[in-house]
Structure 1
Amino acid sequence: MNFHQLHIFYTVSERGSFSAAAQTLHMTQPAVTMQVQALEDYFGTKLFNRSTKKIMLTEAGQTLIPYALRSLELMRETDQAMSAFTHMLEGRLQLGASLTIGEYVLPRLLGPFAKEYPHISIMMKVINTTQIIEEITKHQLNFGLIEAPVNHPDMVIEPVLGDELKLIVHRGHPLAAREEVTLAEALAYPFILREQGSGTRRVMEEQLLAKGLEPSSMKIVMELGSTGAVKSAVEAGLGITMISTSSVKHEVTLGLLKIVNISDASFKRQFYAIHLKSTLLPISAVTFLTFLREHAGEQ
């Protein structure tokens, strides 16, 4: 018995067929079948019932599943622990990132990462969460970085970075002279928001509901499909907004926008890494995610 066989066994159980597992693992179907048979020979018992079109786990197979899963998790933990000592890595990472992460958070971290690991090249797609999951499932991306947790039976989801939404106003706005306001004071003004369903909008609305406030009671004068468009509208004095502090550092430095603290509410959130349960991340990907966690305060 070896780890590779347990990995294959677990993937077959997750995918529901030898052919689907072979596609996931980039192996031939006969090779997958042979490795499972070798595992069955080792234990001296069948792990799958193959009498139907979709294979089913035997009682022995069901017993083995949690041990196989633990072996995968231990291997991931091992990779994460050892990545700190590996500085001559090579490889090409293909990752997806949702809008705020891809446009405003990662660019500030990619430079330092490239200096520390010059032989790892990164190809990043800035797309929405649904597209990220679809491309990970098709093995077109190694992993993704998303703004809100999702429930998906085939995915591992774990927090990697922290973020916070703040009240953002134009430099000439009445609230710009204040360092801190109450939530009620902020809600008295017209808002420009990201579209319904965006991670940013969801975090803001969840916090309002937690405070006993209906998001529909806000004075929303505009809903826009990108953070850049929201910032431009606020700069033009059309309203105020709630967006990530990571996305306005440039405008705040230039004095175009002002961050105002809200004294009686906090709009903190996590960014998450997502990847397939049945596929081990390459050590270069584990190293990249470890780097993000270690440099979380720099974004």
Structure 2
Amino acid sequence: MRVDFLGLEAFVAIAERGSFLRAAAHLNLSQTALSHRMRKLEEDLGVQLLARTTRQITLTSAGQDLLPKARRLMAELESEIQSLRGQAHERQERVAFGCLPTIAAYHLPQALSAFRERYPDVAVKIYDNSASEIALLVQKGEAEFGIGIVSVHAWDLDIAPIRKEPFVLLCRESHPFASLGSVNWSQLEGTPLIRISPQAGNRALIDDALGSRRETLNWRYEVQHVQTAASMVAEGIGLTVVPKLAMHIGGTPGLVALQLRNPSVTRSLGVITRRGHSLSDPAKFMLRLIKARLRG
């Protein structure tokens, strides 16, 4: 049998105030509506809870047994409701989302400026993490959405593609490749290359596209972040393959991005959300700004 919370609320109010009139005023109900709730509760339970006389209302033995339990149940329910209200308020006061570092570094500053104009009092938490970490944060509910690589597969996540982005070869302006405009992978054999950690999510896409050909390349260095690889290229340590958006990251002047051919490698960027969960209004607006930047 379902719990009659409205009936229990009426019972506790009457028992604590000793009067239908005062209980009705407390609950902002008419005495008729209050009496209906009380009668329905007693009929559902099959016992009388209140003994009514013309002068006073007293509790029956069943009512005396039920009252402390009903108080505790109503208090727990009220506490849960207050907690949910607090979470909803906090959600409106802060938006948290995940974003790949290469996208966060170039596209987010402009989006954040526009977001601040619309929501000046809403705090923003950005998880500029790897693709796998972003998916996990969205699954756990710590991030409302994520901007990542469309390669994550999980039953509780929805992924909506935004755009495709090519991988490019980074080299210094003084490198012999710089004037070519494009480079075949076969031309890279013997050239020291800087590889990005597999946690970044891009490495698997490159390996899958190259197949066994990747074993012929000289992957001499491995780093964790694109910015580190770009800085090493600027020092002439080697060349690296990165998403084209990485070229927008500041701090590495004098670099040239070359198109890679045979094969060309791309990654699909998309929005990751939890299935069945709606975004807060600030998160929806933030996502709209980011998508406009990426599609522009």
Per the shorter chain, which TM-score range?
0.5 to 0.7
- Per-residue deviation, residues 64-90 of structure 1 (Å, max 9, x unmatched): xxxxxxxxxxxxxxxxxxxxxxxxxx7
RMSD over aligned Cα atoms: 2.7
Contact residue 183 and residue 264 of structure 1 kept, 8 A: yes
Q: Give the CA deviation at 1:224.
A: 0.5
Gaps of 5+ in 2: 1-91
- Structure 1 length normalisation: TM-score? 0.60
Matched, 1:185 2:198: no
- Partners of 1:152 and 1:239 in 2: CA distance: 37
Aligned to 1:202: 204
Residue identity (%): 21
User: Would you identify which runs of 4 or more consecutive aligned residues in structure 1 move more than 4 Å?
Assistant: 115-121, 250-253
Code of the residue aligned with 1:136 in structure 2: it is V
Contact residue 168 and residue 257 of structure 1 kept, 8 A: yes
- Per-residue deviation, residues 208-265 of structure 1 (Å, max 9, x unmatched): 23xxx432221111010111110111111111111122222356994x1111223443
Aligned length: 205
Code of the residue aligned with 1:244 in structure 2: it is P
Distance 1:233 1:111, change over 3 A: same
Q: Give the CA deviation at 1:297.
A: 4.1
- Per-residue deviation, residues 123-156 of structure 1 (Å, max 9, x unmatched): 2122234433443333322122222421111111
Aligned to 1:274: 272
Q: Give the CA deviation at 1:269.
A: 1.5
- Structure 2 length normalisation: TM-score? 0.60
Contact residue 99 and residue 129 of structure 2 kept, 8 A: yes
Code of the residue aligned with 2:198 in structure 1: it is Q
- Partners of 2:192 and 2:269 in 1: CA distance: 28
Gaps of 5+ in 1: 1-89
Q: What secondary structure does 1:295 align onto?
A: helix
1:62-81 → structure 2 map (5 Å cutoff) = none
Contact residue 164 and residue 244 of structure 1 kept, 8 A: yes
Aligned to 2:151: 149
Q: What secondary structure does 1:290 align onto?
A: helix
Q: What secondary structure does 1:221 align onto?
A: strand
- Partners of 1:278 and 1:253 in 2: CA distance: 42
| Equivalent residue for 1:260, pick from 258, 261, 281 | 258
Contact residue 252 and residue 259 of structure 1 kept, 8 A: no
- Partners of 1:232 and 1:176 in 2: CA distance: 17
Contact residue 148 and residue 199 of structure 1 kept, 8 A: no
- Partners of 1:104 and 1:175 in 2: CA distance: 26
| Equivalent residue for 1:284, pick from 269, 282, 285 | 282
